[in-house]
């Protein structure tokens, strides 16, 4: 049986400032390397959303595009909630995470309401955080990435993606990063995340394949690509004084 995978990427014209929309391409490429058929569907309008996507990626953008991105997400709110309930992996990075939260509190005391799909909210920070980050995740192992955000994230204490080994993460001295609720994963890690952390990509793919009644095995090209990722990770960890994988 040939597995067919559909990855929806939400508003890539607005939410791809740090290349995070390309996480969708990472999933599709690795799925193909594993013998599946895979397509990435850009969703710039509510009608673009596939009826039953196998994964959903929401990237990060600037505050100038915040309202437009939020309005699109609100228009597909019910579909996103159904997908989350069904166990469809949803990866939201940076602004994507903030928009799936309870809301965003700005430093001028205004609030951008979120979709409320994950616990927590974004609050104004005293200064922008921009540096490498290393996270110990009980679900995905050690994750490396780059954080670049001007807001802290509070209220996700019971369900973080992991604990910060290097960097800031959610901030406010929480020592935590991101939020996980079922198969909905929110994080500040740019990179794109899944290219730097292929083990996490394969975890998501395994979940996608299982939902389709199949098993996922990384292909030979994925194994070769992972060697490059491992070298990049090792260089980052060495520079940060962290123990190599």
Domain contains 157: yes
Look over the chain and give the mean of its residue pLDDT values, rounded to a whole number: 95
| CB neighbour class for 21 (10 Å; exposed up to 12, middle 13-18, buried from 19) | buried
185 part of a folded domain:
yes
Number of domains in the chain: 1
Rounded mean pLDDT of 21-42? 98
Residue 156's pLDDT band (cuts 50, 70, 90): confident
The answer to whether position 107 is within a domain reads yes
Q: Could you tell me the residue range of the domain that residue 71 belongs to?
A: 4-239
Q: Is residue 177 part of a domain?
A: yes
Whether residue 245 lies inside any domain: the answer is no
Rounded distance between C-alpha atoms, residue 182 and residue 191, angstroms:
23
Helix residue spans in the chain (DSSP H):
23-33, 66-75, 77-85, 95-100, 193-196, 198-211, 220-239
Provide the sign of the torsion angle of the four alpha carbons 14, 115, 123, 166, taken in this order: negative
pTM, full prediction: 0.96
Q: Is residue 244 assigned to a domain?
A: no
Q: Residue 75's domain is classified under what CATH number?
A: 3.40.50.880
In a domain, 129, yes or no: yes
In a domain, residue 110? The reply is yes
pLDDT tens column, 181-236: 999 999 999 989 999 999 999 999 999 999 999 999 999 999 999 999 999 999 99
Instruction: Give dist(CA 76, CA 49) in Å, integer.
Output: 8
């Amino acid at each position: 049986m040939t597995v067919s995978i559909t990855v929806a990427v939400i508003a890539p014209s607005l939410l791809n400032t740090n290349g995070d929309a390309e996480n969708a391409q990472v999933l599709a490429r690795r799925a193909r390397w594993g013998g599946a058929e895979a397509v990435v569907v850009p969703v710039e309008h509510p009608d673009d959303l596939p009826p039953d996507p196998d994964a959903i990626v929401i990237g990060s953008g600037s505050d100038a595009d915040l309202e437009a991105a939020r309005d699109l997400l609100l228009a597909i709110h019910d579909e996103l909630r159904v997908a989350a309930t069904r166990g469809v992996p949803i990866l939201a990075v940076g602004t994507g995470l903030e928009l799936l939260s309870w809301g965003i509190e700005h430093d001028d005391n205004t609030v951008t309401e979120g979709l409320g799909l994950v616990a927590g909210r974004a609050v104004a920070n005293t200064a922008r955080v921009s540096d490498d980050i290393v996270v110990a995740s009980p679900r995905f192992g050690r994750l490396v990435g780059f954080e670049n955000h001007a807001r802290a994230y509070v209220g996700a204490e019971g369900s973080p993606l992991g604990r910060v080994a290097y960097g800031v993460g959610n901030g406010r001295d929480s020592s935590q990063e991101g939020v996980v609720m079922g198969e909905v994963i929110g994080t500040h890690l740019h990179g794109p995340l899944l290219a730097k952390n292929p083990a996490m990509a394969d975890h998501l793919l395994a979940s996608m394949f299982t939902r389709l009644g199949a098993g996922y095995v990384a292909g030979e090209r994925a194994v070769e690509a992972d060697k490059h990722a491992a070298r990049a990770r090792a260089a980052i960890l060495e520079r940060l004084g962290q123990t190599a994988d």
